[in-house]
Amino acid sequence: MGSKENIEEYLERLQKKLIAQLPKIRKEIKVYEDKLKKGELNQNPKPSPQF
């Protein structure tokens, strides 16, 4: 188990990564919401690699 300082550093790094990814996440949510409004969502999506 890590010390309190190590855990705080880890959480700080995670927070910075999340902040860096927020624009991409917002864009993906907007695309999803637009497709949902237009009824263009695939009702039977295929699982695929996310890379």
pLDDT of residue 33: 94
* Residue 1: per-residue pLDDT: 55
| Positions in the chain short of pLDDT 50 | none
Specify the pTM. Answer: 0.61
Helix spans in 1-51 (H): 4-38
Residue type, 24: K
List, in order, residues 6 or more apart from 2 with CB less than 8 Å away.
10
pLDDT score of 44: 85
Which contacts qualify for 9-18: CB closer than 8 Å, 24 or more apart? none
